[in-house]
Amino acid sequence: MSKVPVRLSVNGRVHELDVEPRLLLVHLLRDQLGLTGTHVGCDTSNCGACTVHLDGEAVKSCTVLAVQADGTKVTTIEGLAQGDQLHPLQEAFWEHHGLQCGYCTPGMIMSAADLLARNPHPSEAEIRTGLEGNLCRCTGYHNIVKAVAAAAEHPHAGEIDHPGPTPEGAAVGRAVASEGAGA
Ligand code: FES
Ligand code: FES
């Protein structure tokens, strides 16, 4: 199958790759860029484990073709922390035990970050509604909701376009440039 050139920024680093037209964004991130924090939990667009930010908005990356991400800025869970400084949502999930097996957690956090960017002080009902596209098999959701509510107290919890550092050697393909914060 002939390949198509794609250029996109992931966590502040620009990549140029040739991809099959049928390749999903989640597989580009995991298999070609090595960003395995974005999970695949279903093949029905239901679970939300694959949630990333595309141009600042949460999307299920199993529903986006890699070619559709051409020219966009993507943030994955690996892009939230700044060096050793976890994002407030990551801290809150840790503090409030918002996970058990952790499989859903990257997607939960990326969706929660999108929610807090749009609604910095959500009610419990609004948190539950905001996360309804993300499924968790372990926690019963109570501590996840508590964690998001706690993170909302932090002034920077809603900063969703937060690329952070790019780990050396994480990228495959042609990494051509680094963009600054906000990329
Ligand atoms: S893997 Fe994308 S919604 Fe489940
Ligand atoms: S913590 Fe296990 S699926 Fe959510």
What digits encode the pLDDT tens for the residues 93-104?
999 999 999 999
75 lines ligand 2 (CB under 6 A): no
DSSP-derived 3-state class of residue 148:
helix
What was the pLDDT predicted at 83?
A: 86
> Euclidean distance between the first and final Cα of the chain, in Å?
32
Q: Is the pLDDT of residue 149 over 60?
A: yes
- Residue ranges in 33-173 assigned as alpha helix (H): 88-95, 105-118, 124-130, 142-151
- Give residue 17 CA to ligand 2 midpoint distance, Å: 32
* Contact (CB, 8 A) for 33 and 15: yes
Ligand 1 binding pocket mutation candidate from 28, 29, 30, 47 (most atoms within 8 A of CB): 47
- Judged by phi (left if over 0) then psi (alpha if -120 to 50, else beta), residue 18 lies in beta
Q: Whose CA is nearest to atom 4 of ligand 2?
A: 136
* Contact (CB, 8 A) for 152 and 139: no
Q: Give the whole-angstrom CA distance, residue 97 versus residue 50.
A: 21
pTM of the predicted model as reported, rounded to 2 decimal places: 0.88
Domains of the chain by range and CATH?
Answer: 4-81+164-178 (3.10.20.30), 88-151 (1.10.150.120)
What was the pLDDT predicted at 3?
A: 96
Atom of ligand 1 at shortest distance to CA of 40? 1
42 lines ligand 2 (CB under 6 A): no
Q: Give the whole-angstrom CA distance, residue 86 versus residue 128.
A: 23
Tens digit of each residue's pLDDT (9 = 90 or more) over 41-89: 998 999 999 999 999 999 999 999 999 999 999 999 999 998 899 999 9
Q: How confident is the model at residue 175 (pLDDT cuts 50, 70, 90)?
A: very low
Query: At residue 149, what is the residue type?
Result: A
Atom of ligand 2 at shortest distance to CA of 108? 4
Question: Between the CA atoms of 19, 52, 58 and 86, what dihedral angle is there, to the nearest 10 degrees?
Answer: -150
Greater confidence (156 vs 120) lies with 120
> Which contiguous run of DSSP H or E holds residue 26?
helix 25-27
- Give residue 135 CA to ligand 2 midpoint distance, Å: 8
- Give residue 110 CA to ligand 2 midpoint distance, Å: 14
* Contact (CB, 8 A) for 161 and 9: no
What was the pLDDT predicted at 180?
A: 40
Tokens 């908005």 locate to 57
